[in-house]
């Protein structure tokens, strides 16, 4: 069957290639003093070139060095036809607020990590080949088939997955090759952090391989960078390869503490899980279904911790995830939100699925083994619909719990959850809301009616996840107060003030200390009460 599928896929690809009338685009990337330089060659004259991947993070880092051309919102354009141009991209090692991939990252003094998607032409119009210049003692590592160049494959995957691969460009001597993985670390990274990442790789990858039943096709590339910027932050991104970048921010990481160690270990296992659930196969619902692969990686990491570290915090972990999920969603269904809610809500849904599997006499990973088997027969893609069919088929109660989070709205639904979970022999108590729940409820209520679908909690302020060109809250405002009440020190006061405004179709004003600008919108809907605070009392 596999041989037949491979032959069929070859014939289909050959037919597509013969009919491919897209414009040839060659992009040559080389090192530059503060980032990389890219030379674009187009097979014919054009007046604009639309790039496949567009992100706010690229704005301000790209500089067109060819006279007469401009770059904006992922498009290079000119009043007169052109077929070549040059770009210099400045590396950025600062913290990224939101689900965006940095375009170019410095690693050490002369190494660069390049996210190739930014340089690919729009798939429907351009047949792109990206190559990396590797003069003496310089190498490119992480490309799909090795070497120093690759052709961007035409795919039906979401646009932000096209050519989605981190590539290392820099001194060959920086790479540490092992049978398991290739490691490249910025010399500024604290040795204890790098040791944790490397020591975790072997048992974690073995745990996932054993439970999922799939071996990785290629050796992972694991890179680590350090910046003394943002206080105590830690980010990580996985791309095709599988390649991963761990980005460490702040001098607080120089000291090895129990909390720092736990954060590093959990994040590493989460990212290593993505080698399977995002890149051995991928979720076809990358945006609306982000909760599936992100929540899956969270829960897989929790199970790895329980098995490999003898961690007995499983009950408190799922309790924490459930409370964060309720706080992020408040009255919204998960199907209408993205961003921060994806992680805790996705982890909670995986817990529900685990409960159902055990009630049916099966292990949790058997669900994922079957899901990935279906993905293999579906062009390497799985979906939310596939997952829900498998998770819900034997236990109607699991269907009810997943639907409560994904499909239903309103805050009253949260008070139904203890009775539903009791059918799975789980004792869950609902207590009055925590203070932070009032902040989450009031922010979500107001931005929901103003093109918003979530927010990111930063160090004493929030970044609203709002759409562009959509009213007063456009542009992802950074705020810390509503109607004069600080959302961190006086969340109940903010809730009460906005509740009063909403009853009279009044104004709600967002602000941030030290920032002159404010953002004001009308509120004409009653404010929902916050969800309860859950306590998980019984481990099934």
Report the chain's C-alpha Rg in angstroms: 24
Asked if 141 contacts 167 with a C-beta cutoff of 8 angstroms, the reply is yes
**How high is the pLDDT of residue 57?**
57
22-177 maps to which CATH number?
2.60.40
Spatial separation of the C-alpha atoms in residues 116 and 104, rounded to whole Å = 9
pLDDT tens by residue, 424-448: 999 999 999 989 989 989 998 999 8
pLDDT tens by residue, 147-165: 899 998 766 444 344 458 9
Name the residue ranges covered by the structural domains of the chain. 22-177, 182-277, 282-432, 435-522
Residue 540 binned pLDDT confidence (cut-offs 50, 70, 90) = very low
Residue 28 binned pLDDT confidence (cut-offs 50, 70, 90) = very high
Which residue has tokens 């199907």? Answer: 335
282-432 maps to which CATH number?
1.10.390
Asked if 454 contacts 337 with a C-beta cutoff of 8 angstroms, the reply is yes
pLDDT tens by residue, 304-321: 999 998 877 888 899 999
CATH architecture of the domain 182-277 equals Orthogonal Bundle (1.10)
Residue 3 binned pLDDT confidence (cut-offs 50, 70, 90) = very low
Spatial separation of the C-alpha atoms in residues 323 and 501, rounded to whole Å = 27
Q: Once rounded to an integer, what is the mean pLDDT over residues 58-67?
A: 85
Burial 266-292 (b: 16+ CB within 10 A, else e): bbbbbbbbbbbbbbbbbbbbbeebbbb
Check for a shared fold between 22-177 and 282-432.
Answer: no
Spatial separation of the C-alpha atoms in residues 382 and 386, rounded to whole Å = 6
In degrees and rounded to multiples of 5, residue 539 shows phi and psi of -85, 115
**How high is the pLDDT of residue 287?**
57
**How high is the pLDDT of residue 56?**
53
**How high is the pLDDT of residue 97?**
62
**How high is the pLDDT of residue 254?**
86
Asked if 218 contacts 241 with a C-beta cutoff of 8 angstroms, the reply is yes
Which residue has tokens 């009043």? Answer: 79
Q: Is the pLDDT of residue 8 over 50?
A: no
pLDDT tens by residue, 317-363: 999 999 999 988 888 899 887 667 899 999 999 999 999 999 999 99
Higher pLDDT: 373 or 448? It is 373
pLDDT tens by residue, 460-516: 999 998 877 778 998 889 999 999 999 999 999 999 999 999 999 999 999 999 999
Q: To the nearest whole percent, how much of the chain has pLDDT over 90?
A: 67
Q: Once rounded to an integer, what is the mean pLDDT over residues 113-126?
A: 92
Spatial separation of the C-alpha atoms in residues 453 and 447, rounded to whole Å = 7
* DSSP string for residues in 6-24: HHHHHHHHHHHHHT--PEE
Q: What's the whole-model pTM score?
A: 0.85
């Amino acid at each position: 069957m596999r041989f037949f599928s491979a032959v069929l896929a070859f014939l289909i690809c050959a037919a597509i290639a013969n009919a491919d009338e897209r414009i040839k685009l060659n992009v040559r990337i080389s090192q530059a003093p503060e980032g990389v330089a890219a030379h674009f060659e187009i097979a014919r004259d054009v007046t604009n070139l639309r790039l496949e991947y567009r992100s706010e993070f690229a704005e301000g880092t790209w500089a067109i060095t060819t006279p007469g051309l401009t770059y904006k919102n992922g498009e290079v354009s000119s009043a007169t036809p052109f077929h070549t141009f040059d770009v210099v991209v400045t590396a950025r090692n600062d913290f990224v607020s939101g689900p965006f991939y940095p375009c170019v990252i410095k690693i050490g003094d002369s190494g660069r990590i390049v996210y190739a998607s930014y340089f690919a032409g729009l798939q429907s119009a351009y047949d792109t080949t990206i190559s990396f210049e590797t003069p003496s003692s310089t190498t490119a590592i992480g490309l799909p088939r090795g070497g120093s160049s690759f052709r961007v494959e035409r795919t039906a995957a979401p646009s932000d997955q096209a050519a989605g691969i981190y590539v290392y460009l820099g001194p060959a001597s920086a790479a540490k090759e092992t049978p398991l993985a290739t490691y490249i670390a910025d010399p500024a990274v604290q040795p204890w952090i790098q040791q944790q990442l490397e020591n975790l790789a072997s048992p974690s990858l073995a745990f996932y391989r054993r439970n999922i039943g799939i071996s990785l096709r290629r050796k992972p590339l694991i890179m680590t960078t350090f910046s003394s910027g943002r206080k105590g932050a830690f980010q990580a991104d996985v791309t095709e390869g599988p390649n991963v970048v761990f980005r460490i921010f702040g001098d607080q990481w120089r000291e090895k503490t129990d909390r720092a160690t736990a954060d590093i270990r959990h994040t590493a296992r989460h990212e290593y899980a993505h080698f399977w659930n995002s890149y051995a196969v991928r979720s076809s619902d990358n945006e609306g279904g982000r909760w599936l692969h992100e929540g899956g990686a969270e829960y897989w990491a929790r199970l790895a911790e329980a098995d490999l570290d003898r961690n007995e915090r499983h009950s408190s972990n799922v309790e924490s995830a459930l409370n964060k999920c309720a706080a992020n969603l408040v009255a919204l269904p998960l199907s209408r939100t993205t961003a921060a809610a994806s992680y805790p809500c996705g982890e909670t849904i995986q817990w529900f699925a685990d409960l159902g599997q055990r009630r049916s006499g099966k292990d949790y990973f058997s669900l994922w083994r079957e899901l990935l088997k279906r993905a293999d027969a579906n062009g390497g893609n799985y979906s939310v619909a596939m997952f829900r069919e498998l998770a819900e088929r034997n236990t109607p109660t699991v269907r009810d719990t997943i639907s409560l989070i994904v499909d239903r709205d309103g805050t009253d639904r949260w008070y139904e959850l203890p009775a539903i979970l009791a059918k799975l022999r789980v004792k869950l108590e609902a207590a009055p809301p925590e203070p932070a729940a009032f902040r989450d409820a009031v922010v979500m209520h107001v931005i929901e009616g103003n093109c918003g679908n979530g927010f990111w909690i930063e160090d004493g302020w929030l970044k609203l996840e709002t759409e562009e060109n959509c009213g007063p809250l456009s542009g992802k405002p950074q705020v810390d107060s509503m109607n004069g009440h600080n959302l961190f020190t006086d969340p109940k006061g903010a809730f009460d003030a906005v509740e009063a405004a909403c009853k009279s179709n009044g104004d709600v004003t967002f602000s941030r200390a030290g920032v002159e600008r404010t953002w004001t919108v009308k509120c004409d809907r009653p404010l929902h009460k916050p969800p309860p605070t859950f306590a998980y009392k019984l481990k099934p």
